[in-house]
Chains A and B, each alone.
Chain A
Amino acid sequence: MSDVKQPIKLPKKARGSRPYFFDDPAIDKVLAMLMGLIGEVSVMADRVDTLERLLAEKGTLKLAQIEGYRPNSAVSDARDSRRDMMLANVMRIILQNEEDPDNGEPNDPEYMSVVKEAEQT
């Protein structure tokens, strides 16, 4: 018997069958991984930001300073804006639907009609 107390693990999956939205659930899963990746990149970007600000302020660096850093309102606003731009970059492919008469769906006949027009004029 070990008297080392095992840490409590919180359940990770919510009870209830999970909905999937694409015909192939793998697309939902890959998208979830992509979002997880963006999230972690965002975490790293914030950390770099913290480091840069602390270095600039103090000229030296201690780990406790990073962990204790809390952005003020102005810094929070700047970070919000950067995340917003990052999300726009990643979701570009669906956001551009706003300008797309085809709503992001294939429309080869429309394109080929232009080719035809170019070829014939």
Chain B
Amino acid sequence: MRCVGRRGDSDGAANLSSDRGSEFGQAIAAQLGAFGLDRIKWECEMTTAVDTMDTTSQYRHDLLVEMNDDEQSRQEFVRSLKLFLAHKVSLGNKKVYEERVRPQLQKQGRSESIPEINRLMKKQEYYQFWSSLQRCSQEMMWNSIQIPVERQLDQLIGKAKKAAENPRGSLALDPDLAIPKWQTRVDIHCMPGGYHTELCEDDVAAGAVYDRAVYIYAMGRMGPYNDDIGASAAKWLKERFPDFKPKRILDEGCTVGHSTLAWAEYYPGVEIHAIDVGAPVLRYAHARAEALGVKVHFHQMNAAELKFADGYFDVVSGSILMHETGTKVAPLVLSEAHRVLASGGVMLQAETPPYKDLKPYDAFMLDWDTRNNNEPFWHASHDIDAVKACVKAGFSEKKVFEVLAPSAFESKMSQRYTHVFQSGDFGGGGQWYVYGAWK
């Protein structure tokens, strides 16, 4: 079912079964009616093909930074540490909450809201230890990947240039594009320098760091291509709507194109465009796509101010984009998506689940990233009402959907999943929350 060998835009590997597809109107109604985190569990058909691929390491394409033995081990340690914190340490917070914090809240007549839980939890020593270790693991992760990238930056720039010779796709940078201020004041998820900082001419450092970091951060659970978010959304769309045949797809906030390439895989032959605000990640994304033999047109562009004509796309997709925007910008991203969609097209935004669908403690734990992992819009973005936001952007209420798309990559890796949406356990849920709307 999934492409397992080297990718190519002509390999036609996305050969999904469509037996569970249905009329889209009925399916939307079914989705809306069935939405609920505990209830939606679609069977994931994993094939023997997945069993034959190496699921335990990142796919080594030409651009991926080289690690010597120590560098490899240092990163593996961070992966083990993160997994350990998620599986063995984080769960102890729940005991603290249930035995100490919740009774106090009840005694004080306080609500089980995120601020109230935080007020008492942050005084608990166990939670202080977990938090301190969690933040530390994030900083260690970036450091462990910067070491080989810094060592090889010249070679990586050379490799990126070489990979982009005689390209199938294209790269259009816009040096005049203003980097949004929420990206320049805080380095999102503690990645030093963020997506946009240019360290030298033709810099690709941010892309090289990010590509490897996502693999370590998700503990390998997004697959050898780090593409599970886009793959899960694309797989869901293709299986549920087998008769939907897009001609052009836009992937927003693409960074190094992890999810972008999944769209190209599930919809072979479709014209794929991808945008981001950061030049170093786009240079890397272009070179990586070329190295993997996938045709994508990359543009340096802000999702809130698209330069594309009205009705140009059949699919507009974002993979964990919305939470890196802001209260004023998020509605613009959605209305711009509506504008550039053709009639009959669809927008999909994949995120972690909104707080309204989580129990108070789980929402509190997921919210940790807002203050502690440099994710300033994380909290507010998890309070976005998908239906209201899409309607405000111009979509019809009847055509808005919220679904949990099962992970396209949960196979023999299942022992690595915690099946919880919690901080520091990215990808551990085994499913992705996707909202969007048909135009």
Q: Which residues of A contact B (CB under 8 A)?
A: 7-16, 18-22, 27-28, 31-32, 35-36, 38-40, 42-43, 46-47, 50, 66-67, 69-70, 73, 76, 79-80, 83-84, 87-88, 91, 94-95, 97-98, 103-105
B179 contacts A by Cβ under 8 Å: no
Distance in angstroms between the alpha carbons of A79 and B76 in the assembled complex: 9
Whether A10 and B193, one on each chain, are in contact in the complex, defined by CB atoms closer than 8 angstroms, is yes
Task: Give the interface segment out of B14-22, B125-133, B328-336.
Answer: B125-133
Question: What chain A residues lie within 8 Å of B374 (beta carbons)?
Answer: 14, 16
Distance in angstroms between the alpha carbons of A43 and B144 in the assembled complex: 11
Whether A31 and B76, one on each chain, are in contact in the complex, defined by CB atoms closer than 8 angstroms, is no
Which residues of B222-277 have CB atoms within 8 Å of chain A's CB atoms?
Answer: none
Question: What chain B residues lie within 8 Å of A88 (beta carbons)?
Answer: 84, 88
Distance in angstroms between the alpha carbons of A87 and B79 in the assembled complex: 12
Whether B193 and A87, one on each chain, are in contact in the complex, defined by CB atoms closer than 8 angstroms, is no
Distance in angstroms between the alpha carbons of A88 and B132 in the assembled complex: 17
A interface: dominant SS: helix
Which residues of B96-126 have CB atoms within 8 Å of chain A's CB atoms?
Answer: 96, 99-100, 122, 125-126
Question: What chain A residues lie within 8 Å of B371 (beta carbons)?
Answer: 19
Chain B residue at minimum C-beta to C-beta distance from A12: B192
Interface size on B, residues (CB 8 A): 63
Since A19-B131, A46-B73 are in contact, a sample of 8 more A-B pairs with Cβ atoms closer than 8 Å, ordered by chain A residue number, is: A14-B187, A16-B376, A18-B135, A22-B128, A27-B132, A39-B144, A43-B70, A91-B133
Q: Which 4 A-B residue pairs are closest in the complex by CB-CB distance?
A: A46-B73, A16-B186, A83-B80, A14-B187
- With contacts A13-B192, A14-B192, A39-B78 taken as known, whether A67 is within 8 angstroms of B69 at the C-beta atoms is yes
- With contacts A8-B199, A12-B143, A76-B56 taken as known, whether A39 is within 8 angstroms of B74 at the C-beta atoms is yes
Whether B146 and A35, one on each chain, are in contact in the complex, defined by CB atoms closer than 8 angstroms, is no
Among A31, A73, A95, point to the contact of B88 (Cβ < 8 A).
Answer: A95
Can you report 19 residue pairs joining A to B where beta carbons are below 8 Å apart? Answer: A8-B153, A11-B192, A14-B139, A15-B192, A21-B127, A21-B135, A31-B136, A35-B136, A43-B70, A46-B77, A47-B70, A66-B69, A67-B68, A69-B69, A76-B56, A87-B84, A94-B126, A97-B92, A104-B126
Question: What chain A residues lie within 8 Å of B77 (beta carbons)?
Answer: 38-39, 42-43, 46, 83
Q: Which residues of B contact A (CB under 8 A)?
A: 54, 56-57, 68-70, 72-74, 76-78, 80-81, 83-84, 88-89, 92, 95-96, 99-100, 122, 125-133, 135-137, 139-140, 142-144, 146, 149-150, 153, 184-187, 190-194, 197, 199-200, 205, 209, 371-372, 374, 376
Distance in angstroms between the alpha carbons of A88 and B99 in the assembled complex: 23
Question: What chain A residues lie within 8 Å of B95 (beta carbons)?
Answer: 97-98, 103
- With contacts A14-B190, A16-B374 taken as known, whether A36 is within 8 angstroms of B140 at the C-beta atoms is yes
Whether B197 and A32, one on each chain, are in contact in the complex, defined by CB atoms closer than 8 angstroms, is no
Whether B199 and A94, one on each chain, are in contact in the complex, defined by CB atoms closer than 8 angstroms, is no
Whether B209 and A95, one on each chain, are in contact in the complex, defined by CB atoms closer than 8 angstroms, is no
- With contacts A39-B140, A47-B73 taken as known, whether A103 is within 8 angstroms of B81 at the C-beta atoms is no
